[in-house]
Structure 1
Amino acid sequence: MEPSSFFGGIGRALSNPIYRRYFISNTFSTIGRWLHRMAVAWLAWELTKSTSWLGIVAFADAFPMVVVSLIAGAVGDRVGYLRVIRFGQLGAGCVTALFAGFTVAGAITIEMVVALTFVFGSLEALSTPVRMSLVHSLVRREDLSPAIALGSAMFNGARLVGPAIAGALILWLDIGTVMAIGSLTFFQFFAVLLFIRIDESGRDRKLSLEIFADIMTGVRYVLGDPGIRFLMILLGATGILIRPFLELLPSFADEVFGRGPDGLAILMSSIGFGGLVSGLWLAHRGQTRGLTGLVTLSLLFSGVSLAVFTVTGFIWLAACFMVSVGFFMLLGGISSQTLIQNAVDSAMRARVMSLFVVISWGLPAFGALAEGWLASFIGLQPVVATGAVLAIVLWLWARAAGRRLAVELERTS
């Protein structure tokens, strides 16, 4: 039996040398991204001990996804995916190195944290939707589903490993060292991207004011496609009701469980482990059939798991529910991305994926800002629990709507 057959979709995707090289380098870069996020979150908490500031920092990181990602998708469809990703990775490495320098020098303030986080978030927003679109150019159509799932599994493996490494380095060394290591991972990915070549002959146009018309064309396309519109609505609901709790985990670790960076690492790594299992399972599954049902099911179980987490007072029991949240939250995200990539017109791909990023990554910024502010008045746990319960209620509608749209979303030709 061929190794690619034994490992299912995972083996098929990784048998492609270009995708394999991209995947390995992107893995190190993604671990660096989680090192940086962990370091920034704990630095902000150390400087302020405020859930409001945690929400503001999270907002600064994710808000660019709302604006920059829309432009990035149109730019990628116009000038080429690789150019945009290379620029974003080089810029992220430079900003993270600057962040590390200020932190090591002891000159960092919470205002600087917000400003530098905004710049870093803007660079991430520039490259993220294009990076998602690039996968379609690296693998065959029949390998798209496992490649997307494998990338998401890698992302959550990094979420598992990154916080654990960051927590240890923060305890043994310092936050600035963690940021410096993160910057090196961005630079190595940039170097690898210089040697990757794909056919982008149809994407060599110059930038112009027509780019804004391109953005609106993408928006109209999404609104006019019932299946993609349905998936975007569910992503938006998850982004507002479920995902904001991620940015408030430093407060949970400290105030609810009485732990330091080790507690935050336990919770973040638990989420990453759940997401890793989810991604690997979907990658091995290797097909689009049945994914619509998994999207709606994930909304129910991620809401239930998060609601129970908020009433748990023991960190290791809470970690178990974080594994469940990570599994179902990523089950929905990976399945949605795969279905959208499967259904979208290739000429619109980056623009549609930019809207995917805006909704699934940008909306949690508003949710985190609102939940952080509300938590300072009525408490952290009631606010997060309310969002989880509302997600469960939304599932009642999504279940029936998903059944009607599944055939079109899961088509294979």
Structure 2
Amino acid sequence: MARNRLKPLFRALAAPAYRQYTIGNATSLIGMWVQRLAIGWMAWKLTGSGAWLGVLAMCELLPTVILSPAVGALADRLDRRRLIIATQSLMLVQSLTAFTLVATGLITIGWLVALGLVLGVVTAFGQPARLALVPELVPRDDLPAAVALNASLFNLARFLGPAIAAPLLALEDGTSAFAAYPLTLILFLVQLIRLRVPVAEDAGSGRARAATRPGLIADFRDGLAFALRHGGIGPLLALLCFASLGARALPEILPALADGHFGAGAGGYAAFTAAIGIGALAAGLWMAIGAGERRLVQVAVVATALGAAGTALSALAPTEPVAIALLTLVGFAITSNGISIQTLLQLHAPPDRRGRVIGLYLVVMRGVPALGALAIGSAADLVGITLPLLAAALIAAAGAAYAWTRLPRIEAGLAGSAASGRSEG
């Protein structure tokens, strides 16, 4: 029975293009998490301010809010593999700059903010293409397993990154931690250059039609209108908003909880981050072996509620070990929520609108946590971290409760409009 449940995962990995892409992607993700941990810790050591952590999160993630919708339209027009190669090359320049500034002792909070802003802009251009490319690499029936596996690898990197970064940050000024990302990006670029994408007929024709439309603004409006009028996609994006204000904002301000609240230092910060990664990895593997279209909406709603509960309890945790255990629940919840919603969007968005729908998904998934982190971090500087986290958790819980009452309508919207949505594309 267990073997049967693993079949979709094995089928996805049997696709040569998907397997090649996944290997390179997983490598770069580990380096990304090492750099992300290093930047967060460096910012905390330079300022000791939760507000600056929120500002840094906003500078990295706000470009996604502004650019992703239009860039999603771009991903529907251009060759997605080439777009990914271009953005990863720019990330290589950014990561080499960060390494050089730290190695020479010239790094300041201003430089960290600037580097975060550059990374945010480049990520905004690349991420819709990275996510929208996956359905072109695997058969539709294997897409839920492929999306879940990608999320599992992301969260395995979330676990391995801190494990690698913690000892590197303890060495001298942490320069070694900033060397990991450039190396892994080079490996990913090699895989991308060698990648051959098996373009499906519907994806190819959809992109050809997209290229004949008037412009990116018209494309964006069309994608937004499609999402808003879709009986399932619109409500799912709204649910993601509530989840992002709560549990998804917590990782962005983790130094304030780990060191500012518990006094745990760099090792504690790495342990807190790894705890979220362990929970997220467990969720990704669970979704990969058992994810199908059925019950994904229920998973998204319940996971939002679990994330809210985990966030609130983490804020009230009496000791560091208790907080670490609760953060594992938070990691499990936010990943289950993200995988289920992303899978449903990938399945129900037509090929020539998929990039724009994913762009809207990224606006919410990356932008709203940044807003939450800025609000929580700023409030934490005034009243401590506990009350702001409790308020964020309450907002997320309210969203989950409302979505649960609308569950039949959301499921009916997905079932009833999927075919018409694809015919429009």
Do both proteins adopt the same fold according to a TM-score greater than 0.5, normalized to the shorter chain? yes
8 Å contact kept, 2:279–2:331: yes
**Structure 2 letter corresponding to 1:243:** R
1:383 aligns with 2:422: no
Q: State the match for 1:347 in structure 2.
A: 352
Q: Counterpart in 2 of 1:99?
A: 98
Residues of 1 paired with 2:405 and 2:370: CA distance?
Answer: 29
List structure 1 runs of 4+ shifted beyond 4 angstroms: 3-6, 204-209, 410-413
Does the CA-based 8 Å contact 1:290-1:410 persist in structure 2?
A: no
The equivalent of 1:172 in structure 2 is 171
* Counterpart position of 1:127: 126
Residue of structure 1 in register with 2:423 after alignment: none
- Alignment map for 1:88-167 (pairs within 5 Å): 88-167=87-166
The aligned counterpart of 1:312 is 317
Partner secondary structure for residue 232 of structure 2: helix
Which residue of structure 1 aligns with residue 230 of structure 2?
Answer: 225
Spell out the pairing of 1:389-400 with structure 2 (5 A cutoff): 389-400=394-405
* Letter matched to residue 102 of structure 2: T
How does 1:227-306 map onto structure 2 within 5 Å?
A: 227-306=232-311
Alpha-carbon deviations, 1:379-398, whole Å to 9, x = none?
21110111112222222211
- Give distance in 1, aligned partners of 2:291 and 2:114: 41
Is the aligned partner of 1:405 residue 2:410?
Answer: yes
Q: Distance in 2 between matches of 1:21 and 1:262?
A: 34
Deviation string, structure 1 residues 156-193 (Cα, Å, up to 9, x no partner)? 11101111111111113542221121111112111211
Aligned partners of 2:229 and 2:275: how far apart in 1?
38
Distance 1:172 1:209 in 2: 54
The 3-state SS of whatever aligns with 1:306 is: helix
1:255: how far off?
A: 2.0
- 1:118–1:228 CA distance, 2 compared to 1 (3 A): same
1:69-121 deviation digits (Å, cap 9, x = unpaired)? 12221111111211211111111011011111011100011111101110011
Using structure 1 for the length normalisation, give the TM-score: 0.95
Offset, 1:5: 4.5
SS in 2 for 1:226: coil
Cα distance in structure 2, aligned partners of 1:342 and 1:256: 42
Partner in structure 1 of residue 196 of structure 2 = 197
**Structure 2: where are the runs of 5+ without partners?**
420-425
Q: Which runs of 5 or more residues in structure 1 are unaligned?
A: none
Cα distance 1:66–1:209, how it changes in 2: closer, same or farther (>3 A)? farther
Q: Which amino acid aligns with 2:350?
A: D
Residues 8-27 of structure 1 aligned to structure 2 (within 5 Å): 8-27=7-26
What is the rounded CA distance, in whole Å, between the counterparts of 1:347 and 1:57 in structure 2? 34
Moved more, 196-205 or 349-358: 196-205
Q: Which moved more, 1:55-64 or 1:170-179?
A: 170-179
Q: Which residue of 2 aligns with 1:70?
A: 69
- Report the aligned-residue RMSD: 2.0
d(CA) in 1 for partners of 2:289, 2:5: 10
8 Å CA contact retained: 1:34, 1:159: yes
1:367 Cα offset (Å): 1.3
TM-score by length of 2: 0.93
- Relative to structure 2, which stretch is displaced further, 135-144 or 203-212? 203-212
State the Cα distance separating 1:207 from its structure 2 match.
Answer: 10
